Copies of this chain bind each other. A is one copy, B any other.
Amino acid sequence: MPKNDQKDLLDLDSFLPYRLAVIAARVSKSMSALYAAKFGISIAEWRVIAHLARSERVSVRDIHARVNLDKVKVSRAVSRLEEAGLVLKANNAADNRLLDITLSEQGWSVYRQIVPLASGFEADLLSVLDDAERAALERIFEKLHSRLDDDPAAPRRSPPEG
């Protein structure tokens, strides 16, 4: 007497949350290998650097809101980057609770070295997709996000760049 009917079985291999987690983990790990060893930078630190490169003079809260990292993780990433000399912290003149975080010259240098590696990695991945699939992927991302926006259990989506 079987414990389950076939219809009650759930195939993990075809289960969307699982598949997304697996592909994201593979891509992240493969990507981070490009800079982790060479520059001693974690994924969180890379996100902070990438955000600083396009928005100079931001606070921990700004980064937190824009880069899908919780406040504590950003704070620690920034501290490590400061110790490594890649980032500068200053007090915000208008509001002393805030930090003005910026890339140092060395931070910019590391960023400029990573960008071509990252872009190349992404281009390599995307090269296997045709135009229709890339367009579909765009729509899929947007549709899934918008569906998750209705779910209070889902983490909030980052606000659009400003």
Contact = CB atoms under 8 A, between A and B. Distances in A.
Given A17-B118, A26-B157, 16 more contacts: A4-B112, A13-B158, A16-B126, A17-B24, A20-B20, A20-B27, A22-B68, A26-B145, A27-B154, A30-B148, A125-B147, A128-B143, A129-B140, A132-B136, A133-B143, A136-B136
Contacts of A24: 17, 20-21, 23-25
Interface in A38-75: 43, 47, 50-51, 53-54, 67-68
A96 interface: no
> How many copies altogether?
2
Contacts of A28: 17, 20-21
